[in-house]
């Protein structure tokens, strides 16, 4: 029986499809022989569908190529693509390049202040509290503000203070001033004044301009303690820069003698400002009208108004070298020459004189020299 020969190109196609079919058969055999519990590759479903398609496919296409071979070839290609998708791609090689971290904004380094600034005194401010805000010593606040006249009791609300950038003193240049005279006045070194950048002194020779405020690094001013004048002046006369009303002094005999120990002059022990070099007292904050009591018995030697910052002031001589001072009273209840006993009511807390809030300014002096009251209070 004679069979017609196929075209050469069709023979080549059939051979290629037969190879693919053989490869597919081997892959299916490997799957069935493997452990049934192992996960099946994703292309198994595709192969099963391909097999079903082969059974349902027509015998041949118009070119004479069997549809079975054609369908198997297409399913095989799809299975290969699906299987390749299951293989994880290798990770990218690490980036070994050196790069600078991105900064969202430019960082400007903090530069120290070199100029004098101003500060307005607020209620209940103290030189210690103000100095702490600017990292300075409280003495510096006094030495840079002539209005305080080296006395922190002159501080008052609304007062504008000069705040230097460093500890020391401040000096407003006057006609005839020289670096030598300024350095001597503040116990400072000329080199420190000249070298301070904020002073902007160029030279030598150095020219000082009147009215310019200089920072005196490390400078200081001697502390002066205000005392009761030794004798009453004529009515209305100014003594040592302080107007002292007539009738506020007592120079007669002192009959009162203290017990030698002190009690707290008001009912609170809360302290708003402690004793320090330029505040030779303690400040006891309390509402206006709080009773003030004599810390020890003695004789009243001063009762009245002062214009050096104390406001209404009472001073008691205890007859043993000690005196106690009670300042900023809203009202005082004793007169000069009165003999008082320990714990006697002598006045009420106020905020008179140069004060930033109601409190009692309490001093203890021995032979005229102020000492820390906390050393004597129980």
**Same structural domain for residues 251 and 146?**
no
Say yes or no to pLDDT of 239 above 60. Answer: no
What confidence tier does 204 reach under pLDDT thresholds 50, 70, 90? confident
149-179 tens-digit pLDDT: 667 777 889 999 999 999 999 999 999 999 9
Could you say which of 217, 246, 266 is where a domain stops?
217
Same-domain check for residues 206 and 325:
no
Q: Please state, as a whole number, how many other Cβ atoms lie within 10 Å of the Cβ of residue 181.
A: 13
Rounded mean pLDDT, 274-282: 86
What's CA 90's distance to the chain center, in Å? Answer: 53
Q: Are residues 260 and 371 in the same domain?
A: yes
Torsion of CA 128, 132, 136, 139, to 10 degrees: 0
What is the mean pLDDT of the segment spanning 360-370? 93
Q: What CATH number corresponds to the domain at position 267? A: 2.70.70.10
Has residue 105 been placed in a domain?
no
User: How many domains are there within the chain?
Assistant: 3
Contact partners, residue 300, CB within 8 Å, separation at least 6? 250, 314, 315, 316, 317, 334, 335, 336, 337, 338, 339, 340, 346
User: Which of 35-44, 218-227, 242-251 comes out lowest in average pLDDT?
Assistant: 35-44
Is 85 part of any domain?
no
Confidence of residue 46 (pLDDT cuts 50, 70, 90): very low
Q: Are residues 259 and 359 in the same domain?
A: yes
- Between 339 and 44, name the one with better pLDDT: 339
Q: Which two tokens stand for residue 209?
A: 């301009």
**Whole-number mean pLDDT of the chain?**
76
**Which pLDDT score is estimated for 152?**
75
Residue 97 pLDDT grade (very low, low, confident, very high; cuts 50, 70, 90):
low
Tell me whether residue 97 is in a domain.
no
Nearest C-alpha neighbor of 156 from the set 137, 138, 130? 130
Pair (204, 242) in one structural domain: no
Are 226 and 151 spatial neighbours (Cβ–Cβ below 8 Å)?
Answer: yes
Confidence of residue 101 (pLDDT cuts 50, 70, 90): low
The verdict on residue 125 lying in a domain is yes
Whether residues 246 and 313 share a domain: the answer is: yes
Asked which of 91-100, 111-120, 262-271 is least confident by mean pLDDT, the reply is 91-100
Structural domain ending residue among the three candidates 162, 184, 217: 217
pLDDT greater at residue 7 or residue 146 = 146
How far is Cα 70 from Cα 72, in angstroms, rounded to an integer? 5
Gap between the Cα atoms of 314 and 305, Å rounded: 9
pLDDT tens digit sequence for 181-194: 999 999 999 999 99
Tokens of 163: 């705040």
Instruction: Note whether residue 68 is domain-resident.
Output: yes
Do both 247 and 200 map to the same domain? Answer: no
Examine the domain organization and report whether 255 and 343 are in the same domain: yes
Same domain (yes/no): 351, 301 = yes
**Domain contains 230:** no
Same domain, yes or no: 253 and 368: yes
Q: Residues 268, 362: one domain?
A: yes
Q: Which of 217, 251, 270 is the last residue of a domain?
A: 217
Query: Is residue 37 included in any domain, yes or no?
Result: yes
Query: Do 27 and 145 share a domain, yes or no?
Result: no
How does 95-112 read in b/e, with b if 16+ C-beta sit within 10 Å?
Answer: eeeeeeeeeeeeeeeeee
pLDDT at 110 over 80: no
Whether 362 has a pLDDT exceeding 70, the answer reads yes
pTM for the predicted model, two decimal places: 0.53
Percentage of the residues of the chain whose pLDDT score is greater than 90: 42
Ranges of beta strands (E only) in 232-290 are 238-239, 242-243, 282-285
Quote the CA–CA distance of 337 and 301 in Å, as a whole number.
Answer: 6
Range of the domain at 22: 8-73
Q: Transcribe 235-251 into DSSP letters.
A: TT-EETTEE--TT-B--
Task: Report the pLDDT averaged over residues 301-324.
Answer: 91
Which of 43-52, 159-168, 258-267 is least confident? 43-52
Peptide bond into 204 cis (omega under 30): yes
Q: Is residue 224 in some structural domain?
A: no
């Amino acid at each position: 029986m004679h069979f017609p020969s196929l075209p050469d190109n069709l023979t080549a196609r059939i051979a290629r499809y037969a190879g693919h079919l053989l490869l597919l058969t081997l892959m299916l055999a490997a799957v069935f022989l493997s452990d049934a519990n192992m996960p099946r590759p994703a292309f198994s479903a595709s192969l099963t569908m391909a097999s079903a398609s082969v059974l349902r496919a027509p015998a041949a296409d118009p070119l004479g190529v069997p549809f079975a071979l054609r369908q198997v070839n297409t399913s095989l290609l799809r299975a290969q693509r699906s299987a390749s998708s299951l293989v994880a791609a290798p990770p990218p090689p690490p980036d070994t390049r050196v790069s600078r971290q991105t900064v969202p904004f430019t960082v400007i380094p903090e530069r120290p202040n070199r100029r004098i600034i101003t500060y307005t005194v607020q209620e209940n401010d103290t030189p210690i509290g103000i100095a702490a805000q600017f990292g300075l010593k409280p003495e510096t606040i006094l030495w840079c503000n002539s209005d305080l006249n080296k006395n922190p009791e002159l501080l008052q609300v609304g007062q504008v203070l000069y705040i230097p950038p460093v500890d020391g003193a401040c000096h407003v240049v006057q006609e005839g001033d020289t670096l030598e005279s300024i350095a001597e006045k503040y116990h400072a070194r000329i080199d420190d004044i000249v070298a301070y950048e904020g002073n902007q002194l160029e030279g030598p020779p150095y020219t000082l301009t009147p009215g310019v405020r200089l920072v005196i690094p490390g400078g200081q001013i001697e502390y002066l303690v205000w005392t009761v004048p030794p004798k009453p002046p004529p009515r209305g006369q100014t003594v040592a820069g302080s107007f002292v009303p007539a009738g506020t002094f007592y120079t007669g005999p002192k009959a009162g003698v203290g017990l030698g120990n002190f009690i707290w002059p008001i009912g609170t022990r809360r302290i708003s400002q402690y004793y320090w070099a330029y505040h030779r007292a303690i400040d006891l904050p309390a509402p206006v009208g709080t009773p003030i009591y004599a810390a020890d018995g003695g004789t009243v030697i001063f009762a009245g108004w002062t214009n050096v910052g104390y406001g209404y002031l009472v001073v008691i001589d205890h007859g043993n070298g000690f005196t106690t001072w009670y300042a900023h009273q809203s009202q005082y209840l004793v007169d000069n020459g009165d003999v008082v006993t320990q714990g006697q009511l002598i006045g009420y807390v106020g905020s008179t004189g140069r004060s930033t809030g109601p409190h009692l300014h309490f001093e203890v002096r021995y032979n005229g020299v102020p000492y820390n009251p906390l050393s004597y209070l129980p």
